[in-house]
Structure 1
């Protein structure tokens, strides 16, 4: 038996508020809907379920809430469905099934911002109770704090703070519990609510004696006296248990046995089996004689509680399963009926028209698909050819002559000489670096979140002591606004411009400026090289490739060839949502 079971009863006032909200405010808003019959039936089953719940007829109430949800689901009455789900969650908690309760209430979290504050209080409070029962006290207190944020009355707030303190006691954080309880113990709303006053006093006494066994008796006795006046048997029994535990910690076995025995006698008259189990546990600890009698009863009662709890959980799980199956079948039958009515309503002319339209559309789409496929195939062949030609030219221009020179060098010089070996190694390293650069130029392009870093690495590879590359705006630009193909195109285009710069421009300073607006990305390039003559543009395959790539993704590529010093390129690329 956990010390937090009282939180279920402490949220009763919240339930009453939501009953009023659900039965009156929401009903007035939904009463004008078309599905009036379903709405009326939903409220009828809901009110019936509330009555059964108050009489502790949990199984019947459970069924009625499910039935009410079935009718409300047909009308979009989300507020009423939320109310029913929270009541079902309360039933799950009462039968010791916090996992099912937590799973059900968690479904309400995605739309919680649209709900009334009273619902927010109840949802977060119920989740807190669930995690308290699951002994996750830290998460439970997180939800209690969220519930506290939406509470409107001091009584509500003090109840929630008392629950938070109770969890601190369970997690052995006694100072935190004492601090909270001392702030609310003499509050006006607490003094006006004797039941709450007694519970706060009892929790304060427990926190004190668990921290220091010599303290807390005064608070426990005061709580006990209040409960005697209120004649609340369940809370009186809690006082017996707390007092028995206090005296047991102080080795006063006589008083401990006295209160434990009172709790045992009290629970024997009621159905408080878990409290009875706690009383038996305390009796076993306080008695040196007749232990076997109490111990045997303790074991038997533990088994009975476990068996009864398991049986009840399985029973309610079957009820939920049967209801879901019935609901699925009803939904399927309804859909089938609608489809049958739709099919029977179609006439012959509409069918023929649809058939002709499909045939004509199919022919047109097939033709378009064929032409598009052919065009893409030709473009791929052409692109492959251009790529192969470019690689072949690079190998010839950059590697073949160097390899030939190395072979000639090997034939004409003594390889045993140290200077000869050093010269040969330098030549081979140069050939390796050129081959590596050709490989990197045609390798796959990284297009994930590291694209900006990947692109910066490309710039660094071309930045040398004789040529400085200046970047502007690349760190602040969000490349996630571009799709994969756009990123690949940008990389290849910049790579092509850098290759042309290195081979032809003799520039010492190169500037790349990145900027953007709502729809477009702009890349501006300029250098202080030798520039380019307009007549030479037709022979610049690299620039033609750049222009083709940019146009293929819906962009534009312009350049200033009239500039006598250096050259300027301007690239505009649409963001992926505006292509």
Structure 2
């Protein structure tokens, strides 16, 4: 935000010092230094800078009463907005441009009008306003001076009508578009015409034309065209040969990645996800990442273009008002502008700081609440349930010992309110605690087995990891006791290099994948993630439940 404001200020200062000597003549293709600089930035694909200078050029044209020049600058700004995903902004700027372009049979006016209607058609198409888009393309055809551009507009109309399912109406437009001299335009129309004919008549074989269009696009290295061909072929084979459909979708993804076309990458990934379940998670995550990046970039562009328009329009209005006094008041105006910018930056910084501090405070409160909730669950709920299990499972369980353990749980729960640390781990080594925990769930109907729980296994384990592992094992046992109806429960502990693995199994009723987290195991997953571990639920066994847990030692 600060950089943009400084750039705008510098550009405004420069614009104040330059006098434009171009005479007003809306029928002559006029220019100015801002417009030439904007074209240079656009050729270097620096759309942000190009947009700023086109806007400055527009203001300069208006100051010299050159309506056509202002209209041309606005059309270029609208095209930049549409190309960068700001479709509503592109339409708004194009409609503003219409006010300055006077309808007349002049070649420069007609070219500008055709370009503007074409941009309105493209933006409306992206917004799925198809009928309006077709109207704009027809207006572009009426004003087109270049015959080759007409073929592009015919193709665009045919493509939209095909999207709407109006195949019979689309074909005449595409038959005109295929007459294009440009190889790129010809290949595009060829592909779309074959598609429309096939969709109108399923007995028609479009494959030769599809491959012909693809070969042309490969030969001229038309990356976007290849994406279109691969998508068309993938869609054609979708209900005929899913393997071929998948292969073409993968070709599309590769081509779209090479030519940096995120929208085509998303389209290819959606098709791959539907056809290749084995790679669902990887491709779904990639799709989400690309989608988020596109949305972020487009939102950034929308905001930036709006800021440039708003700030520069405001400065132009001020400049018009103070034009008569500019010679005497230049220094005062510049100082005022700098003060305004600085104040604006300070206000933004202060507001952001307030929001950040508020968010940090809210996050701290939430974390404290979550921490307390977790402690209550770990210490009180599971502790009491463990005592209850001992009383229920052990026929000669000592009442005094039960009271001692309940008193211990009480003391621990009281310590929570004072945030006292858990020093109980010093009473026994961790191996003994694990054995005692698992053994406490053994009774006449449930046998528990332990393997590999050696003292050396737990060397170099942090207290936090010990606590989380203890709670994980206790949650598995509590879940088994409540839900599984198992008679045999086993734990196997292993250490390979710096990774500890815990294999749990029981012969209970098992848990289906769709109800896995409804049985109290979501907390277990969270604990594993907190110690950078992994957990795998095997729900495909014929009977019982198997769980594999692994986590690093350090």
TM-score (norm 2): 0.51
1:161 is paired with a residue whose SS is helix
Query: Is 1:60 paired with 2:49?
Result: yes
Q: Which residue of the partner structure matches residue 167 of structure 2?
A: 174
Q: Which residue of the partner structure matches residue 272 of structure 2?
A: 283
Query: Is 1:236 paired with 2:226?
Result: yes
Query: Is 1:256 paired with 2:249?
Result: no
What's the CA shift string for 1:536-568, capped at 9, x where partnerless? Answer: xxxxxxxxxxxxxxxxxxxxxxxxxxxxxxxxx
Greater Cα radius of gyration, structure 1 or 2:
1
Does the CA contact (< 8 Å) of 1:42 and 1:67 recur in 2? no
Q: Which residue of the partner structure matches residue 120 of structure 1?
A: 113
For the aligned residues, what is the CA RMSD?
2.9
Q: Displacement, 1:265?
A: 1.6
Does the CA contact (< 8 Å) of 2:174 and 2:193 recur in 1? yes
Does the CA contact (< 8 Å) of 1:49 and 1:65 recur in 2? yes
Question: Match for 2:134 among 137, 141, 158?
Answer: 141
Q: Displacement, 1:32?
A: 7.6
Question: Which moves more between the two structures, 125-134 or 221-230?
Answer: 125-134
Which runs of 5 or more residues in structure 2 are unaligned? 1-19, 330-554
Question: Match for 1:45 among 18, 34, 52?
Answer: 34
Q: Which residue of the partner structure matches residue 259 of structure 2?
A: 270
Q: Distance in 2 between matches of 1:298 and 1:232?
A: 24
Does the CA contact (< 8 Å) of 2:29 and 2:69 recur in 1? no
What's the CA shift string for 1:160-203, capped at 9, x where partnerless? Answer: 11111011012121111123223443xxxx36321111000111
Does the CA contact (< 8 Å) of 1:213 and 1:246 recur in 2? no
Q: Distance in 2 between matches of 1:158 and 1:126?
A: 15
Does the CA contact (< 8 Å) of 1:42 and 1:71 recur in 2? no
- Give the 3 Å change call, closer, same or farther, for CA 64–153 of structure 1 in structure 2: closer
- Give the 3 Å change call, closer, same or farther, for CA 285–40 of structure 1 in structure 2: closer
- Give the 3 Å change call, closer, same or farther, for CA 140–34 of structure 1 in structure 2: closer
Question: Which moves more between the two structures, 284-293 or 160-169?
Answer: 284-293
Query: Is 1:292 paired with 2:316?
Result: no
Q: Displacement, 1:338?
A: 9.2
What's the CA shift string for 1:130-179, capped at 9, x where partnerless? Answer: 22222111111112112212224432322211111011012121111123
Q: Which residue of the partner structure matches residue 224 of structure 1?
A: 214
Q: Which residue of the partner structure matches residue 202 of structure 1?
A: 191
Please give the residue correspondences for 1:59-138 in structure 2 after superposition, counting only pairs within 5 Å: 59-110=48-99, 112-115=101-104, 116-138=109-131
Q: Distance in 1 between matches of 2:31 and 2:177?
A: 41
- Give the 3 Å change call, closer, same or farther, for CA 62–259 of structure 1 in structure 2: same
Please give the residue correspondences for 1:431-446 in structure 2 after superposition, counting only pairs within 5 Å: none
Matched residues, number: 304
Does the CA contact (< 8 Å) of 2:148 and 2:181 recur in 1? no
Does the CA contact (< 8 Å) of 1:194 and 1:226 recur in 2? yes
Does the CA contact (< 8 Å) of 1:207 and 1:216 recur in 2? no
- Give the 3 Å change call, closer, same or farther, for CA 208–35 of structure 1 in structure 2: closer
Does the CA contact (< 8 Å) of 1:41 and 1:68 recur in 2? no
- Give the 3 Å change call, closer, same or farther, for CA 335–273 of structure 1 in structure 2: same
Question: Match for 1:160 among 133, 153, 165?
Answer: 153
Does the CA contact (< 8 Å) of 2:32 and 2:57 recur in 1? yes
Q: Distance in 2 between matches of 1:160 and 1:290?
A: 39
Q: Which residue of the partner structure matches residue 535 of structure 2?
A: none
Q: Distance in 2 between matches of 1:164 and 1:191?
A: 15
Q: Displacement, 1:126?
A: 2.1
Query: Is 1:310 paired with 2:303?
Result: no
What's the CA shift string for 1:89-124, capped at 9, x where partnerless? Answer: 000101111211111121233454445222222222
TM-score (norm 1): 0.49
What's the CA shift string for 1:371-423, capped at 9, x where partnerless? Answer: xxxxxxxxxxxxxxxxxxxxxxxxxxxxxxxxxxxxxxxxxxxxxxxxxxxxx
What's the CA shift string for 1:321-351, capped at 9, x where partnerless? Answer: 22122223323332555999xxxxxxxxxxx
Q: Distance in 2 between matches of 1:163 and 1:211?
A: 18
Does the CA contact (< 8 Å) of 1:131 and 1:140 recur in 2? yes
Q: Displacement, 1:223?
A: 0.6
Q: Displacement, 1:85?
A: 0.6
Does the CA contact (< 8 Å) of 2:213 and 2:229 recur in 1? yes
Question: Match for 1:193 among 182, 189, 205?
Answer: 182
Q: Which residue of the partner structure matches residue 245 of structure 1?
A: 235
Question: Which moves more between the two structures, 218-227 or 109-118?
Answer: 109-118
Question: Which moves more between the two structures, 224-233 or 119-128?
Answer: 119-128
Q: Distance in 2 between matches of 1:60 and 1:103?
A: 20
Q: Distance in 2 between matches of 1:109 and 1:224?
A: 38
Q: Distance in 2 between matches of 1:316 and 1:323?
A: 11
Does the CA contact (< 8 Å) of 1:202 and 1:220 recur in 2? yes
Q: Distance in 2 between matches of 1:193 and 1:40?
A: 26
- Give the 3 Å change call, closer, same or farther, for CA 233–71 of structure 1 in structure 2: same
Q: Distance in 2 between matches of 1:75 and 1:112?
A: 15
Q: Displacement, 1:297?
A: 1.6
Does the CA contact (< 8 Å) of 1:284 and 1:291 recur in 2? yes
- Give the 3 Å change call, closer, same or farther, for CA 110–289 of structure 1 in structure 2: same
Q: Distance in 1 between matches of 2:259 and 2:270?
A: 18
Q: Which residue of the partner structure matches residue 422 of structure 2?
A: none
Q: Distance in 1 between matches of 2:115 and 2:317?
A: 29
Q: Distance in 2 between matches of 1:58 and 1:32?
A: 27
Does the CA contact (< 8 Å) of 2:68 and 2:100 recur in 1? no
Q: Displacement, 1:128?
A: 1.8
